[in-house]
Structure 1
């Protein structure tokens, strides 16, 4: 099956959302987050994550097998969707359609990883079914990718997608438990460029353990792209919305302070710190730390 379509994905410019639009949306989002905090505080345990992702999201994708109904990989990854929401594009909040945002994101993510990776072999931890890896393939077909996840339905889905589009030699998926230092697949990241993308957010009570396990595996370089409360500016209304959302769904809040601590201890060297210029919603910014074990 064809994997073409990458050449049609180009960085687009979108108009900034109005102040009234942003204010109304921020207020509604904040109310929903406060409601979660008051009515049913989420505790992000392994069972909760498994039920949300493996048994719900990835199971649904695997069952639907939408990739078998598309002309190419790009169409599968970016299906027609004209529903407009506030999203972050080039560091400004715009009201744009999902399909336009994800075309932009495919290009922007490829440029971001290329800028920090210094390698044509990329490993993603917490890959789900490999959406990011397949997206990166569109922009960098010469690269090879390995994705690891704990969810069986995610791994099965990614393998089927790769086989369907003839990419099994380019995109491979396998299982890993990032909280288990004895997991044999940690050996696969030795000497490799590794990234996480909104993965460690799901394991808020094991952040330090996971970082320790990654360091012990001796990757060449690590790129963590994760949301957090640590680096938010709470004088900014949008950052207040993000803070409330992250706390209401119990995402991690200590990754970047842990990495800063480990740099002070001489265990790692941080190469870059930056805030992501793109996000799919108003409350889910990612921050990037690029680092290497010393």
Structure 2
């Protein structure tokens, strides 16, 4: 993993940026009052972001998968790198993120040689992992047809269609025909369960009932945020303004108390693309 070129952000600058971020989130709460329904999620992702990616097909203009994943954006942003808020060019951040995510998943996946990502979208995370020969199979399941189709086309374009594959799943449906694929799998979610705040308990129950080998959840959370750090306050209000879930990790702690799961790791993520986009990592296994 390469150390990126970045400039530390001074405390006063961070406090000012956090205040601006808080103001935007408060405005979103006051005027938009987002409720994360299925239609809202579809508009943001399937019809929105994944639809644009599929229609633009920008991977056709990139000579390598890495250059496609990194992108061409040279604008500076504030981001979290190795646990510190820095100013960094977007391209440099995403170059760093490729290595940071690959190392994180490898460290947390035990002896697994395959990963199944739930809410994979068009497979950005799976393609980031694909440079590591450890992974013989990288499987992405998502509810969004545009994300699935984009992922398939990207895999085919870069000759990865035998290792990186995609199909549809509805995690809220206990009878979904893809749920049995979770049995014995090492599962990754990356800002996926955030999108279904009103079905968290049901989705965890569906995953747990399938008996995966291990689950790596990386999701936004308020559980480790403090009220004394302006950036943590900004993150807390941002999560509220976007109607993201806040129940997952408390639920996993409860399931551990009930001896239904064994939590192997709890930690705040060391990288994030913005001030308010921190993730919390929980790694757990079902108790047999």
- The alignment's TM-score, normalised by the length of structure 2, stands at 0.97
**Residue aligning to 2:99:** 107
Deviation (angstroms), 1:13: 5.5
- Deviation for aligned residue 1:142: 4.5
**Retained in 1: the 8 A contact 2:116–2:187?**
yes
Cα distance in 1, alignment partners of residues 73 and 47 from structure 2? 24
Counterpart secondary structure, 2:78: strand
User: Take 1:234 and 1:148, find their aligned partners in 2: how far apart are those partners?
Assistant: 36
Matches of 1:165 and 1:150, distance apart in 2: 23
Q: Distance in 2 between matches of 1:24 and 1:15?
A: 17
Alignment CA distance shift 1:65-1:141 (3 Å): farther
3-state SS of 1:161 partner: helix
Match of 1:138, SS?
coil
Match of 2:271 among 266, 274, 278: 278
Q: 1:214, CA displacement in angstroms?
A: 0.2
Partner of 1:291: 284
Cα displacement string for residues 56-90 of structure 1 (whole angstroms, at most 9, x for unaligned residues) = 11010000000111101011111221111110000
The reply on whether 1:222 has 2:212 as its aligned counterpart is no
Moved over 4 A (4+): none
Contact preservation (8 Å) 1:228, 1:286: yes
Q: Does the Cα contact within 8 Å between 1:110 and 1:140 map onto a contact in 2?
A: no
Kindly report which structure 2 residues correspond to 1:72-87, keeping only aligned pairs within 5 A, or say none.
72-87=64-79
Instruction: From the superposition, tell whether residues 168 and 127 of structure 1 become closer, same or farther in structure 2 (CA, over 3 Å).
Output: same
Kept after mapping to 1: 8 A contact 2:114/2:135: no
Alignment of 1:105-184 (within 5 A): 105-118=97-110, 119-140=112-133, 142-184=135-177
Task: Give the distance between the partners of 1:99 and 1:177, measured in 2 at CA.
Answer: 33
* Cα separation, 2, equivalents of 1:143 and 1:278: 26
Greater shift, 132-141 or 270-279, is seen at 132-141
Is the 8 Å Cα contact of residues 263 and 285 (structure 2) preserved in structure 1? yes
2:230 to 214, 225, 237: 237
- Is the contact between residue 242 and residue 285 of structure 1 (CA under 8 Å) also seen in structure 2? yes
1:30 equivalenced with 2:22 (yes/no):
yes
Q: Is the 8 A contact 2:50 2:122 kept in 1?
A: yes
Residue in 2 that maps onto 1:6: none
Residue matched to 1:206: 199
Q: Distance in 1 between matches of 2:14 and 2:136?
A: 39
Query: Displacement, 1:111?
Result: 0.5
Unaligned runs of 5+ in 2: none
Q: 2 CA distance for matches of 1:151 and 1:236?
A: 36
CA contact (8 A) 2:129 2:135 kept: no
Does structure 2 conserve the Cα–Cα contact (< 8 Å) formed by 1:11 and 1:103? no
- Measured in 1, the distance between the counterparts of 2:116 and 2:85 equals 30
TM-score by length of 1: 0.95
Q: 1:142 to 1:269 in 2, by over 3 A?
A: closer
Change beyond 3 A, Cα 1:107–1:70? same
Aligned length: 286
Deviation by residue 1:167-223 (Cα, 9 ceiling, x = unmatched): 001100000001011101011111010010000000000000000000001100000
Give SS of 2:178's match.
Answer: helix
Q: Deviations over 1:230-270 (max 9, x none)?
A: 32111211100001100001000100000000000111000
Conserved? CA contact 1:106–1:139, under 8 Å: no
3-state secondary structure, aligned to 1:204:
coil
Provide the C-alpha distance between the structure 1 equivalents of 2:8 and 2:126, rounded to a whole number of angstroms.
29
